[in-house]
Amino acid sequence: MQRILVEHVADIEVLGIHNIDGYVEPVEDQPTFEGNALLKARAGVAATGLPSIADDSGLCVDALNGMPGVLSARWSGPPKSDDRNNELLLAQLHDVPDERRGAHFTCAIAWVLPDGTERVVEGRMPGRIIREQRGSGGFGYDVVFVADEHAGEADGRGLTSAELDPAEKDRISHRGRALRELAPTVAEDLSGR
């Protein structure tokens, strides 16, 4: 967020939940990415009195009817584990042919002001699920996801999101797209225009 928002608001300092003493994250119990993002942003405003940005994102796999979706972080059950989530996803798609392994990452980002003003934007990154884990960057499902924009790279195998440098991932990712869409609104609201 800091890397993208600083382009629009030069002197912005993005604080995270770890900067707020005693902050307790709300339970993400909404059925949509938008609902969970709003829930978290509203909680941020309530805890700090400051404008708040929060997101919710996940992987939506075509062959799994859009799942894991909002359950992405908890797909393999508690406790949360990226490794177990990826192993389960690959097992569920084991017999699915390559041409039916389409997927996309979705990110909803909510911007909530202390006066109750709310705005939500959504970003997507289309791609596909590969058959093995590759790469060491990123987190979550990045090791099994190849974005459409990088499908022909790495000798035709495609580069996973975990193999992209942070600047390129910011450029094409669902979160980066949503933040770039929201950033002018954040800049306008914070400058008091």
Q: What would the 3-class secondary structure string for the chain be?
A: CHHHHCCCCCCCCCCCHHHCCCCCCCCCCCCCHHHHHHHHHHHHHHHHCCCEEEEEEEEEEHHHCCCEHHHHHHCCCCCCCHHHHHHHHHHHCCCCCHHHCEEEEEEEEEEECCCCCEEEEEEEEEEEECCCCCCCCCCHHHHHEEEHHHCCCCCCCCCEHHHCCHHHHHHHCHHHHHHHHHHHHHHHHHHCC
Q: How much is the pLDDT for 156?
A: 61
Q: Which residues of 167-188 are buried (b: 16+ CB within 10 A; e: fewer)?
A: ebbbebbbbbbbbbebbeebbe
Q: How much is the pLDDT for 55?
A: 96
Residue numbering of the annotated binding site for substrate: 57, 139-142, 169, 174-175
Residue numbering of the annotated binding site: 56-57, 139-142, 169, 174-175
Q: How much is the pLDDT for 153?
A: 63
Amino acid identity of 156? G
Q: Contact 20/47 with Cβ under 8 angstroms?
A: yes
Whether the upstream peptide bond of residue 68 has omega within 30° of 0, thus cis, is yes
Catalytic residue among 11, 29, 55, 56: 56
Tell me how far apart the alpha carbons of residues 180 and 134 are, in angstroms, rounded to a whole number: 28
Please say if 82 is a catalytic residue.
Answer: no
The length of the chain, given as a count of residues? 193
Q: How much is the pLDDT for 16?
A: 87
Residue numbering of the annotated binding site for Mg(2+): 56
Q: How much is the pLDDT for 154?
A: 57
Q: Provide φ and ψ at 122, rounded to 5°.
A: -130, 140
Tell me how far apart the alpha carbons of residues 129 and 72 are, in angstroms, rounded to a whole number: 14
Q: How much is the pLDDT for 5?
A: 76
Per-residue model confidence as pLDDT tens digits over 49-77? 999 999 999 999 999 999 999 999 999 99
CATH class of domain segment(s) 2-191: alpha beta
- Which residues in the chain land under pLDDT 50? none
